[in-house]
């Protein structure tokens, strides 16, 4: 699978960290989910990616947990 670039449906930040600027970004970092676009994908889309990646326990995971698990599989 590996890390790869995907075009987003609309322009703008792809994660909570990139939405922040300046002092807030430095002082209050947010999760980037290892580069997985958690905000630009639905939970169903992330679940499908997790299925293809072979993530175990995915049926009980939240959207953020799915994104993190996909990122770990890409390492």
What are the pLDDT digits (tens) for 39-60?
A: 778 999 999 999 999 999 999 9
0.75 cut: is pTM over it?
Answer: no
What are the pLDDT digits (tens) for 16-43?
A: 556 656 676 566 665 656 667 777 789 9
pLDDT tier at 4, thresholds 50, 70, 90: low
pLDDT of 2 higher than 70: no
Q: Where are the alpha helices (DSSP H) in the chain?
A: 16-19, 22-27, 43-53, 63-74
Q: How many CA atoms lie within 13 A of 22 on its CB side?
A: 1
Residue entry with tokens 């990616």: 49
**For residue 12, what are the CA distances in angstroms to 18, 20, 40, 47, 48?**
9, 12, 10, 23, 24
């Amino acid at each position: 699978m590996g890390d790869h670039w995907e075009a987003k449906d609309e322009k703008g930040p792809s994660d909570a960290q990139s939405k922040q600027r300046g002092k807030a970004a430095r002082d209050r970092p947010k999760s980037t989910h290892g580069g997985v676009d958690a905000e630009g994908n639905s939970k169903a889309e992330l679940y499908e990616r997790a299925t293809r990646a072979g993530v175990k326990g995915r049926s009980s995971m939240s959207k953020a947990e799915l994104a993190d698990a996909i990122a770990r599989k890409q390492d």
